[in-house]
Amino acid sequence: MAADPKSGNLNENWNKTKGELRKAFSASSLSASVPEKRLLPSLETFANELGLQPNFNQKLGLHPDHEHLKYTNNIENDYIISMFVDIKGSTNLFKRYRPETVWIITNTIQRAAIHTCLIFGGYVHRLQGDGLFVYFGDKNTSTELSVKRALQFAGIFTYFVKTDLKQLFNEQGIEDIYTRIGIDLGYDRDVIWGMAGIGEISEVTTCSLHTSLASKMQSNAVSNGIVVGDHVKNEVIALSEFFTPVCQRTQNENDRYIFRIQDDNWNYTQYDFAWLPFLKKQDYIATDLHGDLQLKQKTISTFDRNINNLAPIAAISKPFYGFNEEK
């Protein structure tokens, strides 16, 4: 960002040794430094600690449990957790940077979201700008565990945007970059899977009230906030302390329900999810003296004073720490 000619940071752009302006980091450099099918070092450690293996062989619009529906007119019912992850404020980046720089920034954010989603067993269904629409859940995972993993992903990615990403942007004089997330669960009876579209202009997707409600909940979230539906809350009763009706925040009782069917006397509540207290309760998270979250390590390594060992420590201590291709 500092090397972008539009940024105005000439002092940072000037290379005193060579007596010339530094060249900006390119989109091709990004692709070379972050291989498509490999996690960032800190995330690789994180996945190993959780015992999870990301699936890099996913395809957009093809959930593996339902990819057989492609090119057919068949439909079937199956539960799914729908999540909309929206990054707000990125449009303002065009005021300060060239399109290539904006591309690098937004693509990096999106890759971080994809990597984190894959770690927790999510399925990236669609890319929307620098945001995502993702599914959690499959035939081999219980509904409760899928909900927990969805909440863990949403909390960790929100923490990254609110802390590490914000710090980076603030150093460049950029404000108001934040995320909003909506999550809802549709049970078997509520969700139809099928192919939408025709031929190659198609995707295997869901038709469900709860898929639609996840999008609406995202728009009702605060900056760096997460809003979930009644089914999500009810699936993890032990976590009830982390959910409060949205109307308590807005002080407007009309905001209690995200959807109502008055003829059936059916009211569906939306809740703010207290993701930070939730993360602090996870057994793989610790809080340092500054109040920052850190990943707990299960293994204790022998102390080594070699300065080259500082990089992996920094990678673990700071999520999404600088990534370099192995040589």
**Which amino acid is located at 215 in the chain?**
S
Domain for residue 235, yes or no?
A: yes
Total-model pTM: 0.81
Q: What's the pLDDT at 326? A: 47
Domain for residue 120, yes or no?
A: yes
Domain for residue 226, yes or no?
A: yes
pLDDT digits (tens), the chain, 327 positions: 666 766 665 444 545 455 444 555 566 665 666 666 666 666 677 777 777 778 888 888 899 999 999 999 999 999 999 999 998 878 888 888 888 888 888 887 888 888 889 989 999 999 987 789 999 999 999 999 999 999 999 999 999 888 877 777 766 666 677 899 999 999 999 999 999 999 989 999 999 999 999 999 999 999 999 999 999 999 999 999 999 999 999 999 999 999 999 999 999 999 999 999 999 998 888 887 777 887 776 543 333 334 444 444 445 445 544 444 444
Domain for residue 37, yes or no?
A: no
Please report the sign of the dihedral spanned by the C-alpha atoms of residue 56, residue 25, residue 130, residue 197: negative
CA distance to 40, 54, 292, 293, per residue, from 285 (Å): 18, 20, 10, 6
Sequence-ordered list of residues with C-beta below 8 angstroms from that of 136, at least 6 positions apart, any chain:
80, 81, 83, 120, 121, 122, 123, 146, 147, 149, 150, 153
Residue 166, classified by CB atoms within 10 Å of its CB into exposed (0-12), middle (13-18) or buried (19+), is middle
For the record, the structure tokens of 299 come out as 């293994």
Sequence-ordered list of residues with C-beta below 8 angstroms from that of 160, at least 6 positions apart, any chain:
112, 116, 319, 320
- CATH number of the domain that 149 lies in? 3.30.70.1230
Q: What's the pLDDT at 20? A: 46
- C-alpha closest to that of 217 among 264, 159, 171, 150: 150
Query: Which range marks the domain in which residue 245 is found?
Result: 43-292
3-state secondary structure of 209: helix
Q: Write out the DSSP string of 216-270.
A: HHHHHS-TTEEEEEHHHHHHTGGGGGGEEEHHHHHT-GGGSEEEEEGGGTEEEEE
Number of domains in the chain: 1
- C-alpha closest to that of 146 among 258, 52, 45, 44: 52
Q: What's the pLDDT at 278? A: 96
Domain for residue 327, yes or no?
A: no
Sequence-ordered list of residues with C-beta below 8 angstroms from that of 207, at least 6 positions apart, any chain:
191, 192, 194, 196
Domain for residue 309, yes or no?
A: no
Q: Where are the alpha helices (DSSP H) in the chain?
A: 10-13, 27-33, 41-50, 99-119, 143-160, 166-171, 209-220, 230-235, 246-250, 275-280, 310-317
The answer to whether 231 and 186 have CB atoms below 8 angstroms apart is: yes
Q: What's the pLDDT at 165? A: 75
Rounded distance between C-alpha atoms, residue 256 and residue 249, angstroms: 10
Sequence-ordered list of residues with C-beta below 8 angstroms from that of 157, at least 6 positions apart, any chain:
85, 112, 113, 116, 117, 179, 181
Q: What's the pLDDT at 36? A: 64
Domain for residue 196, yes or no?
A: yes
The answer to whether 161 and 145 have CB atoms below 8 angstroms apart is: no
The answer to whether 58 and 67 have CB atoms below 8 angstroms apart is: no
Query: For 68-75, which contacts have Cβ atoms below 8 Å and span 24 or more sequence positions?
Result: 69/193, 69/194, 69/195, 69/204, 70/195, 70/202, 70/204, 71/195, 71/199, 71/202, 72/195, 73/194, 73/195, 74/194, 75/192, 75/193, 75/194
Q: What's the pLDDT at 317? A: 46
Domain for residue 322, yes or no?
A: no
